[in-house]
Structure 1
């Protein structure tokens, strides 16, 4: 009976609601009473807002009682309305489980980009008492529960997942070393928290490094902090360049690829090839159009520049909101460097660059 009802349910939804689910069709009705509500999102209230420095903002949020919670190291999608349109971005939870268990709250530590839309909106238009919406917690960027030596490498606000899980991680007997790269000394987020943690936890070492004084991650720095037997698990979070460098150096040091885990929070657009950009044929809601981008870029940026409405969120390959069907042509995944086949497959517009003329269905 179940296998019979599922196709019937899909047929009724598609026929009566012109949508794949009744929930999506009812969303505008629900939003009349709950502005900003989206299917799969949970209401949360802004409890506090604090500017840590000129570039970093901390938000403390209290999710609704039906939010299922998180594992330290995971991220969420934060949703709000900007200029009459719902937009979202992905942020890692930077608070530990104790805040969630004791207060029912979580904390986000966010770098604000002046040339963006989302984070300047958080700075100027979001206040304590406001209501936002968040997704379930996602991701698997957390350490294994074993005695393997752990080397953590963070760049800038890539420190946030480590801030979330380190209080619990250091309770194990496994040695943990944290290298945090920031542009200048005194510009390291959570420095006091990690310093105090190192003072009371002999198995934990904390090294705040400034690129101005120490340079970027090097073979010498990496080897200096690996354990003698070289069986470390390395976790890296930060800019794309830092993660690529860490993987390269770890491989040279004999660390197995499976023992290096990375988490991106930004996409390096410098990796885009220059030159003429291939045309994009787009079909959306039964309407077809041809887009001729002015320059090489991600598909998401090219479509938005041409005025094509496409749903997006994190813009770095995490949330999958910009997932669409490539019907023909080839693209390169800017995170993995892999080139697609020429046939149909689902891709993420925010991390894909066209190599040939392509056809997309949104």
Structure 2
């Protein structure tokens, strides 16, 4: 009854706000007024102070922030939406936290380790424009890519900057009993792409088995590599994070090795594709409807335009319809 009453009240407040201010929240409407007295205040966001930026490689850097005290913290493996003001516009991107929750509780600081996409509007700019003392804005932490309660031995597979949420987990749980049986397979293009090598050596000293694979020379993950690096594959629990193609290949490999679906956990760094495999020309004649609950909008798209590529994403569908949803799937854009 209490939850139901809260839901009714929230709906009533939302309705009243839309009628009076043409927004879903009074906070959005009042934001310019509040900023007269508190310039750094943003509705629905927590401000954070930039402490410093460290270059890890030519295209990867770590941003260290101190959120204001009201920020609720996070669980290892989660991500945040980072908002920055650029040329008068507020831009938002999603990044995984690379530090551990224990580090945040001890220091009040968090780290975001970011790959700069040279064609992106935000990630290259952040590294050049931000300086110590600047203010950025954070959402609360989100995401279900977290450690389960399984007692099985754990294998972590990371591709490039997909290491960041896994690195958070490995730092958080290094004192746990399972740690000395855990493995990390870290895929990078070459030695110039390797980052966190000193920190990974420290985790190795704690008992973690770390294997670095240089894809330019050793190739990408396949059955041969999986058998070479992992014993008793079907008996392990896997955590996988990296580009979409890597996720798909790894999932397929693990499934073919009879790893139960419940023991395969993954996080996409990039767009998770919506497969249209098996859709024929007759099926493509029927439009697909997508409902957007928050904006109360409804759009349709013609699947025929995606048949040739066999892949589409919900973000692309939305943008093709003229919508501009806040998206976190373009990691590093």
Common fold: TM-score over 0.5: yes
Is 1:195 aligned to 2:209, yes or no?
no
Computed over aligned residues only, the root mean square deviation of the Cα atoms, in angstroms, reads: 3.7
Provide the residue aligned with 2:34 in structure 1: 30
SS for the counterpart of 1:230 is helix
**Structure with higher helix content:** 2
Distance (Å, rounded) in 2 between the aligned partners of 1:288 and 1:200: 52
| Equivalent position of 1:134 in the other structure | 138
Residue number in structure 2 paired with 1:327? none
Structure 2 residues without counterparts, runs of 5 or longer: 278-286, 307-311
- Residue 44 of structure 2 corresponds to 40
Is the alpha carbon distance of 1:271 and 1:145 closer, same or farther for their aligned partners in structure 2, counting shifts above 3 Å? Answer: closer
Task: Name stretches of at least 5 consecutive residues in structure 1 with no aligned partner.
Answer: 318-362
Q: CA deviation at 1:33?
A: 4.6
The answer as to 2:128 corresponding to 1:114 is no
Shift of 1:253: 0.8
- State the number of aligned residues: 312
**CA distance 1:282–1:85, shift in 2 (3 Å):** farther
Structure 1 pair 37/86, CA: closer, same or farther in 2 (3 Å)? farther
SS in 2 for 1:128: coil
Match of 1:166 in 2: 170
Deviation string, structure 1 residues 266-287 (Cα, Å, up to 9, x no partner): 12789899xxxx999999x999
The structural deviation recorded for 1:101 is 1.9
- 1:184 matched to 2:198: no
1:254 is the counterpart of 2:229? no
Cα distance in 2 for partners of 1:270, 1:142 equals 23
CA distance in 2, matches of 1:242, 1:136: 28
Give 1:98 deviation, angstroms.
Answer: 3.5
Instruction: Using structure 1 for the length normalisation, give the TM-score.
Output: 0.74
Do structure 1's residue 69 and structure 2's residue 83 form an aligned pair? Answer: no
What is the rounded CA distance, in whole Å, between the counterparts of 1:7 and 1:266 in structure 2? 34
For 1:213-239, what per-residue CA distance to the aligned partner results, in whole angstroms no more than 9, with x for missing partners? 211101122123334373211110000
Cα distance, 1:300 vs structure 2: 4.5
Local SS of the residue matching 1:110? strand
- 2:326 equivalent in structure 1: 312
Q: 1:14 to 1:188 in 2, by over 3 A?
A: same
Alignment of 1:193-272 (within 5 A): 193-201=199-207, 204-228=208-232, 230-267=234-271
